[in-house]
Chain A
Amino acid sequence: MVKSRSAYSTPSKVGKLDTHIFVVWVDNEAGVLARVVGLFSGRGYNIESLAVAEIDHKKNLSRVTIVTTGTPQVIEQITLQLKKLVPVHKVANFKREDKKVIFKEMALLKVVGNSAKIKKVLNACKKYNPVILDKTNKSVVIQITALRREIDSVIKNLKPLGLVSASRTGAVAMTRGAEIFN
């Protein structure tokens, strides 16, 4: 490492990067997503995926799920900064490897090809509960729900079989068992 000769500190060794999933409960109001996202972009933290929707209409609550990578220090800082935002009610943060948490993403996949190819396609994603949402004699739209890397591999496998378009959601998360996060 180059020795710092600056009044500004130079970056010290970057620690191990972990992928974390943040779940943030926020008031569903204008600009709240910009606040949450701005906190990441303003600090140079990258967002891998994002899912947000209202979960309680009466209480006007939305649940934001953010996947990001960072050193433990960065992750801690994000958590604390998120908690400081006025419309934020609570913040949970899990490691991707966390066995106590279920993560899921959904993808819509459009394949164009003859029926033989489509059969192959359905076979290729059998493991991920494919649901056929639309079918014509030369195309199909399939919905699958799976982990990010699983969807990655499905997409890779379907490309040669006529995949023309893929649309994916961000990850959503839920803890296993009876406990809820407080």
Chain B
Amino acid sequence: MGNLYSGAEIVFKSLEDQKVEYIFGYPGGAVLPIYDELKNHPTIKHILVRHEQGAGHAAEGYARSSGKPGVVLVTSGPGATNVVTALTDAYMDSVPLVCISGQVPTHLIGTDAFQECDTTGITRPCTKHNWLVKDINDLPRIMHEAFEVATTGRPGPVLVDIPKDVQFAKAKYFKPKKEKKLNGKTLNKFDQKAIDQLIELMKKASKPVFYTGGGVINSGPKASELLRELVALTGFPITSTLQGLGAYPGDDNQFLGMLGMHGTYEANNAMHDCDLLINIGARFDDRITGKIDEFSPKSKKVHIDIDPSSINKIVKVDLSIVGDVAEVISATSKTLKKKNLNLEKSNKQKISKWWKQIQKWRTKQSLNFINSDTIIKPQHAVQRLYELTKNQDTYITTEVGQHQMWAAQHYKFNKPNRWMTSGGLGTMGYGLPAAVGVQVAHPKKLVVDIAGEASVLMTIQEMSTAVQYNLPIKIFILNNQYMGMVRQWQELLHEKNYSESYSSALPDFVKLAEAYGCIGIRAKSPNELDKKIEEMINVDKPVIFDCLVDQEENCFPMIPSGKPHNKMLLGPRDQEESKITGKGKALV
């Protein structure tokens, strides 16, 4: 007691007490005292990235695959502004991040000092909360509060901005208090009555569907187990959002596949025609709902979410249960078992017609594509990757675009925390640094970034990070030389005017890999694909895999602009009939 520590020491002491093992960062003038202190704390390993955005996404990948908060350390000014994209990404997708940024000394704040920017001002709308530490005595409290805010309720990013003089100043340190209450913002306790109401609705339903999202993943692995139990108990069909994939086994018969703009025919039709929609930890995102006034018109809607402000934000619901997903599901299953031991059977009878209808939709095989034996179809490439990696515990990250949707459609996830993708913000360049973070958290596991050649070039510099720390990430590029999703929209909406969506001077990815000191592999035809993928998996080094795919392929099925769920475009053959015209173009 009574020992005085410098601000930099306090930062590390609190990181140790928060059980932080890795920080992702980049040094600079305003954080030098913290970097100086790094050597004294061997339990904390620093991963040096090549760009602060990479640090943010790597921390996201780390957090999403491990369930622990990701920690980022950047300098003032450009260091902080570079991390803004990653913070916004984490905010949209509810990823717990603690970002520590250096700031110019207190007396220089507001003077346009070198590398000064209003970091807390800039990051205010893209964090759950942020702090500018002006008094060293506040630092221990703020550091602990930062972790508390980031990880509780709906998780998200926070930022602590520490001026350089505060890093040098000395103060007492204290450990985190247990069970701290943040203005009473602790978990919302739900009512058993609401659970009973939910069960009443379930009993009455003849066309029910579960619609689950990232909240199930965020609630922890236990939530996924409980979800599986509940789905089995009820016999209801289940669909998932992009972020929720893996919470329920992708190859299970009750799983309808992903829903939404590029979701399956059966999932979207089930959403449209159902009479009971149970949303668990999803947020009625506009890529999910499509046209809002025609969204699931005939259903009673239930929304289970930890965030009270998510309820009735977009879709008005009939029953809302605010609480942690795992607890709500567990209470529901318990009550089901206690009250209605034979609900399972009676329900099955009642909903058998619904299942028949779903089977009919399934026969459309909406994920089908016309394969080729001369050119690699991107969907085929993802399918082969899945088949060749499904026997080991594989972690997949993606960039943003067509390849992301193909990955979501054709790669089947069986466990939570195995799928890291930028959904809300749609950040191109997310996947490679995220893979770095995932591999840091799981050094022995196979980590693959399913990428597009355009996206991956946005953060390609992080290959250097992967090489430095021997992180054998696999960058699996579906290379069609186009910004594929942009090209697809231009084809459908802008009379094939492919304005600026073609990259005519791409690097040679094999040589690029070699330049970075990793392995480059190229696959040009379907008959060599398997062999090459196996080669990639078996290398214990970072790999850039340049998979040359069909340039013209589009991502189907899709809900075209302004159409409700039951009016999907199914594939090349279906396209001619439903063209998008008029005002919708402006609104996409």
Residues of A near any B CB (own CB < 8 A): 2-10, 12, 30-31, 34-35, 38, 42, 73, 76-77, 80-81, 83-89
Beta-carbon contacts under 8 Å, B557-588 to A = 559-563, 580-588
Cα-based distance from A80 to B306 in the complex (angstroms)? 12
Contact present for B584 and A5 (CB under 8 Å): yes
Contact present for A31 and B120 (CB under 8 Å): yes
Contact present for A9 and B183 (CB under 8 Å): no
Interface residue? B132 (CB, 8 A): yes
Contact present for A5 and B583 (CB under 8 Å): yes
Contact present for A30 and B132 (CB under 8 Å): yes
Closest-CB distance, A70 to chain B (whole angstroms):
13
Which residues of the partner chain B approach A35 to less than 8 Å between Cβ atoms? 124
Which residues of the partner chain B approach A9 to less than 8 Å between Cβ atoms? 286, 289-293
Contact present for B182 and A80 (CB under 8 Å): no
Interface residue? B177 (CB, 8 A): no
A7-B293 contact in complex given A84-B309, A86-B129, A86-B185, C-beta closer than 8 Å: no
Other 5 A-B pairs with CB < 8 A, given A34-B121, A89-B183: A4-B584, A5-B580, A5-B581, A5-B584, A9-B293
Which residues of the partner chain B approach A73 to less than 8 Å between Cβ atoms? 312, 316
Instruction: Look across to chain B and name the residue whose beta carbon is closest to the beta carbon of A39.
Output: B125
Cα-based distance from A84 to B287 in the complex (angstroms)? 25
Instruction: Look across to chain B and name the residue whose beta carbon is closest to the beta carbon of A26.
Output: B183
Cα-based distance from A90 to B582 in the complex (angstroms)? 47
Instruction: Look across to chain A and name the residue whose beta carbon is closest to the beta carbon of B586.
Output: A6
0 or 1 for each of B456-469: is its CB under 8 Å from A? (1 = yes) = 00000000000000
Closest-CB distance, A83 to chain B (whole angstroms):
7
Contact present for A7 and B185 (CB under 8 Å): no
Closest-CB distance, B92 to chain A (whole angstroms):
14
Which residues of the partner chain A approach B559 to less than 8 Å between Cβ atoms? 7
The 6 closest A-B pairs by CB, nearest first: A5-B584, A6-B587, A5-B562, A80-B309, A9-B292, A4-B562
Which residues of the partner chain A approach B291 to less than 8 Å between Cβ atoms? 4, 9
Main secondary structure of the interface of A (DSSP, over half): loop
Cα-based distance from A103 to B581 in the complex (angstroms)? 51
Contact present for A76 and B286 (CB under 8 Å): no
Contact present for A8 and B185 (CB under 8 Å): no
Contact present for B313 and A7 (CB under 8 Å): no
Cα-based distance from A5 to B120 in the complex (angstroms)? 39
Which residues of the partner chain B approach A12 to less than 8 Å between Cβ atoms? 292-293
Interface residue? B261 (CB, 8 A): yes
Which residues of the partner chain A approach B149 to less than 8 Å between Cβ atoms? 86
Interface size on B, residues (CB 8 A): 44
Contact present for B261 and A42 (CB under 8 Å): no
Beta-carbon contacts under 8 Å, B97-128 to A = 120-121, 124-125, 128
Cα-based distance from A42 to B316 in the complex (angstroms)? 22
Cα-based distance from A80 to B583 in the complex (angstroms)? 34
Contact present for A38 and B587 (CB under 8 Å): no
0 or 1 for each of B127-164: is its CB under 8 Å from A? (1 = yes) = 01100101000000000010001000100000000000
Interface residue? B78 (CB, 8 A): no
- CB-based A-B contact count at 8 angstroms: 91
Cα-based distance from A42 to B587 in the complex (angstroms)? 20
Which residues of the partner chain A approach B424 to less than 8 Å between Cβ atoms? none
Which residues of the partner chain B approach A76 to less than 8 Å between Cβ atoms? 312
Contact present for B309 and A81 (CB under 8 Å): yes
Contact present for A7 and B308 (CB under 8 Å): no
Instruction: Look across to chain B and name the residue whose beta carbon is closest to the beta carbon of A82.
Output: B309
6 contacts between A and B (CB under 8 A): A6-B588, A7-B290, A8-B286, A73-B312, A77-B313, A83-B185
Contact present for A4 and B587 (CB under 8 Å): yes
Cα-based distance from A87 to B309 in the complex (angstroms)? 17
Cα-based distance from A144 to B184 in the complex (angstroms)? 39
Contact present for A38 and B124 (CB under 8 Å): yes
Cα-based distance from A119 to B580 in the complex (angstroms)? 70
Instruction: Look across to chain B and name the residue whose beta carbon is closest to the beta carbon of A11.
Output: B292
Instruction: Look across to chain B and name the residue whose beta carbon is closest to the beta carbon of A25.
Output: B183
Cα-based distance from A149 to B313 in the complex (angstroms)? 32
A5-B125 contact in complex given A80-B309, A84-B309, A86-B149, C-beta closer than 8 Å: no
Instruction: Look across to chain B and name the residue whose beta carbon is closest to the beta carbon of A73.
Output: B312
Instruction: Look across to chain B and name the residue whose beta carbon is closest to the beta carbon of A79.
Output: B309
Cα-based distance from A101 to B293 in the complex (angstroms)? 37
A31-B309 contact in complex given A7-B286, A8-B587, C-beta closer than 8 Å: no
Closest-CB distance, B537 to chain A (whole angstroms):
36
Contact present for B308 and A80 (CB under 8 Å): yes
Instruction: Look across to chain A and name the residue whose beta carbon is closest to the beta carbon of B316.
Output: A73
Cα-based distance from A73 to B261 in the complex (angstroms)? 26
Closest-CB distance, A103 to chain B (whole angstroms):
26
Contact present for A86 and B182 (CB under 8 Å): yes
Cα-based distance from A35 to B127 in the complex (angstroms)? 11
Contact present for B292 and A5 (CB under 8 Å): no
Which residues of the partner chain B approach A5 to less than 8 Å between Cβ atoms? 561-563, 580-585, 587
A7-B309 contact in complex given A34-B124, A88-B183, C-beta closer than 8 Å: no
Beta-carbon contacts under 8 Å, B257-294 to A = 261, 286-287, 289-293
Contact present for A83 and B587 (CB under 8 Å): no
Closest-CB distance, A154 to chain B (whole angstroms):
38
Which residues of the partner chain A approach B292 to less than 8 Å between Cβ atoms? 9, 12
Instruction: Look across to chain A and name the residue whose beta carbon is closest to the beta carbon of B158.
Output: A86
Closest-CB distance, A21 to chain B (whole angstroms):
20
